[in-house]
């Protein structure tokens, strides 16, 4: 275990450095995952490029139609951001269960995304919100939907010389709400057995679902959208019967494994009930907005 520690001053410098040191360099942001991996000798980079202090990659900006979250934004910043207390509450719900407060103060949302853990808690929420990532590399910048970015467990389409700089979320239409629900073996400091993020928009003036987005974590090789359940719900009455049916469909779509935390069968049952709960929470929250 021996590496050089680099602190570039700009994104361009960081990318240049990564290119020069390829393939022996890794980027480090908060470090809450990579330092543990190094200590466990799972990875052994010769160079660490610290991006934590790069200018312009932190904080939350808002325009009339979208939010832009800097990739270095910390979970605790998300948790306390007033604009997320309404229809985007799932962002706060997920941010507040990632590690303890000490981790929420250093871990970055960009780090959670590029790690591509199948059990990542923040990724389902971003996926349910159709997040788009902005990426900078040697050939300039590109934008990729999160849906296409994560390709497998721990695998993304990010090149080793590229940096995720921001995450963009379109604002939700009226009569929308989100919810994040998580089950672990205890209530705090736990990797999810299953987690579900839901985003529900009701038809204007009616009680049918206009659009539904459901993202499920820890129940397949990567966080995935339950497309069959989403398609079924569109145009359905938003009620307990349709939510329960969506849960069943999502359970059929998932591909869980049995591991130290739970059996595949138990995970499948959880998916069914948690999808129903997440949708119910969304529905109740659209009511809060109406009042």
Residues engaged in binding another protein (CB under 8 A) = 1-5, 7, 28, 31-32, 35-36, 38-39, 48, 50, 52, 76, 96, 99-103, 105-106, 188-189
Pure H helices in the chain: 11-21, 34-39, 75-79, 89-95, 101-104, 109-115, 122-128, 146-149, 227-233, 240-253, 264-290
Q: Which is nearer to another protein, 79 or 276 (CB)?
A: 79
Residues 6+ apart with CB under 8 A from 36: none
Q: How far is the CB of 236 from another protein (least distance, A)?
A: 36
55 backbone dihedrals φ, ψ, rounded to 5°? -70, 145
User: Cα(253)–Cα(259) distance, rounded to whole angstroms?
Assistant: 19
Q: Which is nearer to another protein, 36 or 237 (CB)?
A: 36
Q: How far is the CB of 53 from another protein (least distance, A)?
A: 9
Q: Which is nearer to another protein, 191 or 210 (CB)?
A: 191
Q: How far is the CB of 225 from another protein (least distance, A)?
A: 30
User: Cα(118)–Cα(115) distance, rounded to whole angstroms?
Assistant: 9
Q: Which is nearer to another protein, 106 or 264 (CB)?
A: 106
Classify the C-alpha dihedral 115-118-122-124 as positive or negative. Answer: positive
Q: Which is nearer to another protein, 100 or 152 (CB)?
A: 100
134 backbone dihedrals φ, ψ, rounded to 5°? -100, 130
Q: How far is the CB of 85 from another protein (least distance, A)?
A: 16
> Within 10 Å of residue 185's Cβ, how many Cβ atoms?
11
User: Cα(216)–Cα(97) distance, rounded to whole angstroms?
Assistant: 16
Pairing of strands 4-6, 140-145: unpaired
User: Cα(216)–Cα(187) distance, rounded to whole angstroms?
Assistant: 19
Q: How far is the CB of 270 from another protein (least distance, A)?
A: 22
Q: Which is nearer to another protein, 38 or 250 (CB)?
A: 38
Give the C-alpha distances (Å, rounded to integers) separating 155 from 13, 114, 217, 218: 25, 8, 15, 15
Q: Which is nearer to another protein, 7 or 269 (CB)?
A: 7
Q: Which is nearer to another protein, 105 or 147 (CB)?
A: 105
Of the candidates 170, 182, 234, the one whose C-alpha atom is nearest the C-alpha of residue 208 is: 234
Q: How distant is the alpha carbon of residue 131 from its chain centre?
A: 9
């Amino acid at each position: 275990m021996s590496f050089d520690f680099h602190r570039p001053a700009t994104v361009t410098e960081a990318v240049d450095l990564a290119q020069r040191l390829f393939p022996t360099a890794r980027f480090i942001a908060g470090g809450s995952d990579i330092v543990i991996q190094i200590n466990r000798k799972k990875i052994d980079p010769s160079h660490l490029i610290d991006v934590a202090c790069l200018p312009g990659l932190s904080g939350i900006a808002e325009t009339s139609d979208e939010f832009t979250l800097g990739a270095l934004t910390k979970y605790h910043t998300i948790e306390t951001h007033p604009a997320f207390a309404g229809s985007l509450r799932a962002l706060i719900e997920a941010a507040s269960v990632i590690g303890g407060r000490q981790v929420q103060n250093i871990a970055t949302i960009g780090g959670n995304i590029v790690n591509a853990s199948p059990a990542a808690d923040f990724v389902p929420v971003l996926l349910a919100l159709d997040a788009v990532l902005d990426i900078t590399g040697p050939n300039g910048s590109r934008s990729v939907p999160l849906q296409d970015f994560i390709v497998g467990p721990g695998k993304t389409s990010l090149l080793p010389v590229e940096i995720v700089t921001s995450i963009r979320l379109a604002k939700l239409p009226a009569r929308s709400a989100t919810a994040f629900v998580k089950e672990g073996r205890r209530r705090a400091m736990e990797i999810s057995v299953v987690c579900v993020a839901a985003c529900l928009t009701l038809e204007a003036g009616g009680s049918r679902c206009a659009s539904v987005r459901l993202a499920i974590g820890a129940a397949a090789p990567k966080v995935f959208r339950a497309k069959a359940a989403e398609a079924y719900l569109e145009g359905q009455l938003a009620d307990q019967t349709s939510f329960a049916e969506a849960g069943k469909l999502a359970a059929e779509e998932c591909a869980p494994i049995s591991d130290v935390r739970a059996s595949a069968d138990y995970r499948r049952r959880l998916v069914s009930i948690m999808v129903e709960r997440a949708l119910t929470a969304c529905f109740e929250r659209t009511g809060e907005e109406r009042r």
